[in-house]
Amino acid sequence: MPNPPTPTRVKPSTLAKTLGRAVIVALLVLLALTFIFPFVWQILISLSALTDVDLLTQTGFPPALQPENFITIFQRVDLARYFFNSFFIAGWVTILQVITCSMAAYAFSRIQWPGRDKVFLLYLATLMVPAVVLMVPNFVVVLKLGMFDDYSGLILPSAFSAYGTFLLRQFMLTVPSSLDEAAAIDGASHWRIFTTIMLPLARPGIIVMAIFAFLFNYNSFFWPLIITKTANLRVLPVGLLQFESSYGQETPLIMAGSLLAMLPPIIIFLVLQKYLVKGIQLGAVKG
């Protein structure tokens, strides 16, 4: 005989579950608000008049909106040019890094050569050197090579990336070695295996690497600042610096400019976020 259902015993546990869920959701919402707050603040400042910025902390909202700020920045500085420079430089760096990193990753993961893993460790060790330490030697090299104040000086030093190589090597290690062995027996050279087998299979990894490379270089500030002096070569973060002078800073304009500068990364993230999440999992899950 079947047992009669006992619904009363299920209830308390579902109640506890719902309560627990509510607490978790509340905490998460709170956390999300904390993250969003600076951006909201930024938007509010970008819409304020310079004289109202100090008032914001008391009122929480600008007494009068001033959306003209977004037009003013284009009139005061050559923002379009800075946008172009940022995209141009970050784009080239990304393309070059995809090429160099994927080739290096193939060599570090698929080709046997003496001392390979030691060289790789050495290569990885360069990640531990703070970028600031390398700033001066890099500057001297770039200067000597005649690349100072030139696109080449902005692009070429970033054309290689130990981090990108590491990321792609880890990704390529998850591709079964029998695939390249099968291809080798089928008659493929290393170059052929790299281009027709490995690159298509490593595509998710390459996309992640490219996104990281683009975002990192799009945001870079210090290197472009010291390696250029011509106004035409300024990138966005450097260009926005013009709103800051010894007489004080024009906060609303800086905020408006950086808000516009933030848009491309946000769009890139929204469009490609499924790859980014995959990239963060890289190495954690094999397969």
Partner 1 sequence: MAQVTLKNVAKVYDKKIRAVEDVNIQITDGEFLVFVGPSGCGKSTTLRMIAGLEEISEGTISIGDHVVNDVHPKDRDIAMVFQNYALYPHMTVYKNMAFGLMLRKLPREKIDKLVRDAAKLLDIAHLLDRKPKALSGGQRQRVALGRAIVREPAVFLFDEPLSNLDAKLRATTRTELKKLHARLKTTTIYVTHDQIEAMTLGDRIVVMSDGRVQQIDTPLNVYKRPANRFVGAFVGATPMNFLEGILESADGRFFFVAGETARIALPAEFSSALADHIGNTLSLGFRPSAMREASPADPQDERITLRTILVEPLGKNADVSCEFPDGTHVLARIDAREDFPVNADVQFTLEMKHVHIFEPGEFGANLVHPPADILAPAAV
Q: For partner 1, which is the closer residue by CB, 135 or 201?
A: 201
> Taking CB under 8 A as the rule, does residue 287 contact partner 1?
no
> Taking CB under 8 A as the rule, does residue 185 contact partner 1?
yes
Residue 82 phi, psi (nearest 5): -65, -40
Please give the residues from 23 up to 62 whose contact with partner 1 meets the rule CB under 8 A: none
| DSSP 8-state assignment for residue 198 | I
> Taking CB under 8 A as the rule, does residue 190 contact partner 1?
no
Q: For partner 1, which is the closer residue by CB, 45 or 193?
A: 193
Q: Are 101 and 165 in contact (CB under 8 A)?
A: yes
> Taking CB under 8 A as the rule, does residue 68 contact partner 1?
no
State the residue for tokens 């035409």.
232
Site string for partner 1, 107-126 (x = CB under 8 A): --------------------
> Taking CB under 8 A as the rule, does residue 178 contact partner 1?
yes
Q: For partner 1, which is the closer residue by CB, 168 or 259?
A: 168
> Taking CB under 8 A as the rule, does residue 183 contact partner 1?
yes
The CB-of-282 to partner 1 minimum distance in angstroms stands at: 18
Choose the binding region for partner 1 from 9-17, 128-136, 176-184, 204-212 (rule: CB under 8 A).
176-184
Interacting residue with partner 1 among 53, 188, 226, 260 (CB under 8 A): 188
Q: For partner 1, which is the closer residue by CB, 159 or 201?
A: 201
The CB-of-198 to partner 1 minimum distance in angstroms stands at: 10
SS (H, E, C) 123-167: HHHHHHCCHHHHHHHHHHHHHHCCCCCCHHHHHHHHCCCHHHHHH
Exposure string for 149-171, b = 16+ CB within 10 A, e = fewer: ebeebbbbbbbbbbbbbbbbbbb
Number of residues near partner 1 (by CB under 8 A): 15
Q: Which residues, other chains included, contact 260 with Cβ-Cβ below 8 Å and sequence gap of 6+?
A: 70, 73, 79, 83
Q: Are 101 and 163 in contact (CB under 8 A)?
A: no
Strands (E) in the chain, as ranges, are 244-245, 248-249
Q: For partner 1, which is the closer residue by CB, 71 or 111?
A: 111
Q: For partner 1, which is the closer residue by CB, 186 or 244?
A: 186
Choose the binding region for partner 1 from 21-29, 65-73, 178-186, 276-284 (rule: CB under 8 A).
178-186
Please give the residues from 193 up to 232 whose contact with partner 1 meets the rule CB under 8 A: 197, 200-201
Q: Report which secondary-structure segment, H or E, holds 186.
A: helix 177-186
The CB-of-204 to partner 1 minimum distance in angstroms stands at: 12
Q: Are 240 and 251 in contact (CB under 8 A)?
A: no
Q: Report which secondary-structure segment, H or E, holds 187.
A: none
Q: Which residues, other chains included, contact 153 with Cβ-Cβ below 8 Å and sequence gap of 6+?
A: 142, 145, 147, 227, 228
Burial grade of 233 (CB within 10 A; 0-12, 13-18, 19 or more): buried
Contact positions vs partner 1 (CB under 8 A): 176, 178-179, 181-188, 192, 197, 200-201
